[in-house]
Amino acid sequence: MGSIKGHIRTAKALRYHGQRDLRVEDLPISAAPLKEGQIRLRTAWCGICGTDVHEYLNGPVFPPMPAKPHPLTGEHMPITLGHEFSGVVFEVHPSVTRVKPGDKVAVEPLITDNTCYACSINKRNICDNSTFLGLNSTTGGLCEEVVVPASTCHVLPANVSLELGAMVEPLSVAWHAVSNSGIAATHSALVLGAGPIGLAVILCLQAKGIQDILVSEPSQARNNQAKMLGVQVLNPMEEDAVVKSKERFNGSIGPDYAFDASGIQATLDTGLKAVRKNGIHYNIALWGKKPVIDMNELLFNGKTLKSDLSYARGDYEAVIQAMADGRLSADSLQLLITGKIDLEDTEEKGIQELINVKDKHIKILVRVDKSLSK
């Protein structure tokens, strides 16, 4: 939990200073009392997200620059990375009743203004001024000690480990997509892409009772990872995904839903063509370029293209409950964890590993405070 240098307490943190510029630094810890609604947290585990890798390679994209601080927080570069994290509460402001010292928690990194139109209609995930801890905030999960709003902390049940607590954030993205799509247990689904979010979508579909699932994934390594979750998988480089999907579902009519976790033209085209008449193609992916959309495919077949960002109020609680009652089983979730590394190795054994051999990995977790993550 940090160290003492002279009379100043410090905590180790992975700081992002710009493109390909990551530094493990000793950050001074403020001795000022906590403000109303705040808690102090010792971070146990933090996952590395594809967004972190994108910032490393192509950023800064989301982190605010000094000339234009974030409108909600007033913060700017450099930032501490990490938005998929868990930890143990060790200090709370007297106003806080949500959590108490000693609680294991998963941190929901989304912070919103609660005043804009989106927030007023309970769509805080598309808040005009939202900020994410560890992405466009100077506070991030790749630091041994952080001060965060108590409102971001969700207590983990006794049977949900801190390690799996760091998986709640990416699972909440998938849970929100599945919940928001309108799919029911009687429906069928085509999942396009078996990367971290695609695999999380499979698990969330299964947790909600949807068993009629087909996955399209060109990478053989990820193809095999999807099969471990008990679903049928095809390789679109070897088979026509549209034809196979039509054959597989609803008496050659096609699947009820397609979930696009890849965000490329090929998966958009495949999903729109594959779903049955009046079916839904749901986009989860962040796109790198504007796609071409065949509007006539929608118009003449009554199909719907739908999408939404990240997660909304209630998704974190739902994921944690599904973990606790076994619908998101610990064994299945452990299949998604393909690496565990120390904070000081994050760039070499985490970021670089995901760049150079990304098909080998689903989720790499970083041990932040080693005393909590043994």
**Per-residue confidence (pLDDT) for residue 321, from 0 to 100:** 98
Q: Which of 200 and 6 is assigned the larger pLDDT?
A: 200
pLDDT band at 3 (very low <50, low <70, confident <90, very high): low
Q: Which of 360 and 340 is assigned the larger pLDDT?
A: 340
Which of 13-27, 58-72, 212-226, 310-324 has the weakest average pLDDT? 58-72
Express each pLDDT in 291-304 by its tens digit.
999 999 999 999 99
pLDDT band at 32 (very low <50, low <70, confident <90, very high): confident
Residues of the chain above pLDDT 70, percent: 98
**Per-residue confidence (pLDDT) for residue 370, from 0 to 100:** 87
Express each pLDDT in 343-367 by its tens digit.
999 999 999 999 999 888 999 999 9
**Per-residue confidence (pLDDT) for residue 5, from 0 to 100:** 52
Biggest alpha carbon–alpha carbon distance for the chain: 73
Among 109, 39, 44, CA closest to 79: 109
pLDDT band at 221 (very low <50, low <70, confident <90, very high): very high
Token readout for 132 is 């994410």
Query: Looking at domain 3-155+336-367, which CATH architecture does it have?
Result: Alpha-Beta Complex (3.90)
Q: Domain 171-307 is classified in which CATH homologous superfamily?
A: NAD(P)-binding Rossmann-like Domain (3.40.50.720)
pLDDT at 8 over 90: no
Residue spans per domain, the chain:
3-155+336-367, 171-307
Specify the residue for token string 């203004």: 113
pLDDT at 1 over 70: no
Instruction: Give 3-state DSSP helix, strand, coil % of the chain, rounded to 5.
Output: 30, 25, 45
Dihedral-angle region of residue 285 (phi above 0 means left; psi in -120 to 50 means alpha; beta otherwise): beta
With contact defined as beta carbons under 8 Å apart, do 330 and 306 qualify? no
| Dist CA 206 CA 95 (whole Å) | 40
pLDDT band at 255 (very low <50, low <70, confident <90, very high): very high
Q: CA quadruple 286, 353, 175, 218: dihedral positive or negative?
A: positive
- The answer, as to whether pTM is greater than 0.75, is yes
**Per-residue confidence (pLDDT) for residue 98, from 0 to 100:** 95
Express each pLDDT in 49-90 by its tens digit.
999 999 999 989 999 999 999 988 889 999 999 999 999 999
